[in-house]
Amino acid sequence: MRNWFFLFLLFLYGCIEPYEVVVPEGESMLSVEGHITNGPGPHTIKITRTATYGSVFVDFIRPVILATVAVKETETGLVTFLKETSQGIYETPDGFRATTGNSYSLRIVTSEGSEYISFPSKLHPVPIIDSLSYRSIIIPTENRLQPRSGLQLVAFFNDPSDMKNYYYWRVKNPISSVQTFPERYRPPFSLPNSPYQPKPCCSFCDIPDSKLIKALFLAEDSNFNGLNTGQIAGFIEDNGFRLSYKYRFDFEQMAISEDTYRFLRLINQQMTLTGSVFDPPPANIRGNMVCLTNPEETVLGHFFAAGVSETKINLSVEDLDLFQIQRPFNDDCRVLTQPVAPRPVDP
């Protein structure tokens, strides 16, 4: 009987046919990322084509090379051409600064002849940052024994009362100066009591922090119009290593338009999805770029002009009240970012 039972189960499983899900193939779209300010620059525009999707892997994200890229000042008609400094990366020339009160549009002509243009974006004046403070905070997680923590940045400034203001804060060019201990190096799979095999270099290195940004910090002045205010303007997460020695970055406060504020707020909603049932559904967010040669083509991205106030911040671990245990790294600090080694620095 048992054998017949197993044969019956085998017969049932043999009757099941796999169901193939056919996903309609998406189109590859032009994506534009970048802005200009009244700061010294250079100002960077990144242009790529998105990967297509479907039932199988069919493409990958590609930089748009050999394009003609220019910024036009609406009031004067002045056109400034950008130079391609690396594949898909275009920069304004030395000395270029946008002018407060004027509007700017971005024009792109690809090597295939397709032409794209943005709607004009006006550069609004920005209040100067009076000071930037930071404090250590803990963010609860599902695992109560392993909460997130880091430095919350608060920008203090005087908001103008004569107009509606929208703000975008950004940590720029973050550099983590790390201290390691190559004199305590042991090869992989060594026993805990194995002797050290010290390396001759290096204990201190500058490492660009490319994985810092996880959310955008934005605000509009409905609740503080015309007041001296302090606004939450950034977060630097402590991963147990990033802030272990020294940390420095440029901090920007930008005055943006209402359209740019709305676009960035939608982007931020997509970036901070948690997977809960209350999350908005992911979707392509339309920016202010259009295709002149094919008006039906969907173009991703948003070009904008912004007034900027900038300050430089240098932090040392001795000045911070950190909650995470800082993890020592017993090796040459240059191996942390292989294959591109950071610049060794003096302590």
| Burial readout 221-257 (b: 16 or more C-beta within 10 A, e: otherwise) | beebeeeebebebbbbbbbebbbbbbbbbebbbbbbb
Model confidence, pTM? 0.85
Please write the tens of the pLDDT for every residue from 288-333. 999 999 999 999 999 999 999 999 999 998 888 888 887 888 999 8
Please answer whether residues 217 and 234 qualify as being in contact, where contact means their C-beta atoms are separated by less than 8 angstroms: yes
Predicted pLDDT at 85: 96
Predicted pLDDT at 336: 81
For residues 267 and 263, give the distance between their C-alpha atoms in angstroms, rounded to a whole number.
6
Handedness of CA 272, 277, 282, 283 (dihedral sign): negative
Residue among 184, 150, 180, 172 at smallest CA distance from 245: 180
Domains, the chain, ordered by start: 25-123 (2.60.40), 125-269+305-347 (no CATH)
Please write the tens of the pLDDT for every residue from 222-258. 999 999 999 999 999 998 888 989 999 999 999 999 9
Residues of the chain scoring pLDDT < 70: 1-26, 53-59, 273-284, 337-347
Please answer whether residues 159 and 165 qualify as being in contact, where contact means their C-beta atoms are separated by less than 8 angstroms: yes
Token pair in block for residue 151: 């430095």
Who contacts 267 (Cβ-Cβ below 8 Å, separation ≥6)? 216, 285
Q: Radius of gyration of the chain from Cα atoms?
A: 26
